[in-house]
Amino acid sequence: MINWKKIVCTLLLLSPVLLIKAQQKDSSNTISDSSITAFVKSLQKRGADETVRSIEKYKSGQLAIKQQHLIEEIKNYTQKAKILLKNRIDSFLISKEIKSTSEYLEIAGDGVFKNKSNTQSQRNLAVTAAIYTELLDRTTLRQKQISTYSKNLIELRDKIDSLNADRALYMFPNNSISTLKYIKK
């Protein structure tokens, strides 16, 4: 019969020796520290280079997005300016109105200011005042229309000029193909 007590005692006595032997360093598996350092430095350099490239790529993408946005805004405001210019104020009609207004002023004021008789009737003065008021109202309305048109046109020009002044429009990509595509826009 096998003596289990002897086997267990032997295993208990040998186990610390086996554990110590198992923890010893394997001499065939050593790598020099300098080669690990060179490898790590190489990886770090590649990582740093890739980080720089990634940041440049991101900035380039952001610049392209901003340029596209600016170009679209310029096109939008240019289109609005074209529509405004298409619906322009008729300067020939305005010239005719100014001329006819001058003639009406002369006719209405003829009996009151030039060929005065000794007596001015209340009726003549009231009619002249009504004509002058109507001419003033028409002229004021026309002047407001011209001012509004002019203001809108100037605002559009200022918006287009401010968009054109953005430095991002004049920064070109490093890639020649991308630069050619950008110039064609």
The mean of the pLDDT values for the chain is 82
Q: Looking at residue 172, what is its pLDDT?
A: 76
Of the ranges 55-59, 91-95, 143-147, the best mean pLDDT one: 143-147
Taking the model in full, what pTM does it have?
Answer: 0.59
Query: Given pLDDT bands bounded at 50, 70 and 90, which one contains residue 113?
Result: confident
Query: Given pLDDT bands bounded at 50, 70 and 90, which one contains residue 60?
Result: confident
Of the ranges 8-17, 95-104, 173-182, the best mean pLDDT one: 95-104
Is the Cβ–Cβ distance between 171 and 63 less than 8 Å? yes
Assigned token pair, 4: 């289990």
- Poorest-confidence range of 26-35, 42-51, 156-165? 26-35
175/126: higher pLDDT: 126
Q: What is the pLDDT of residues 123-168, one digit of tens each?
A: 878 888 899 999 999 999 999 999 999 999 999 999 999 999 988 8
178/132: higher pLDDT: 132
Assigned token pair, 149: 């048109």
CA distance 5 to 1: 12
Q: Residue 139: enclosing H or E segment and its boundaries? A: helix 122-164
40/176: higher pLDDT: 40
Q: What is the pLDDT of residues 6-24, one digit of tens each?
A: 777 676 777 766 666 656 5
Assigned token pair, 121: 């009737």
Query: Given pLDDT bands bounded at 50, 70 and 90, which one contains residue 64?
Result: confident
CA distance 107 to 88: 31
Beta-carbon contacts of 60 under 8 Å, excluding residues fewer than 6 positions away, are 173, 174
3/42: higher pLDDT: 42
Q: Looking at residue 89, what is its pLDDT?
A: 84
DSSP state at residue 112: I
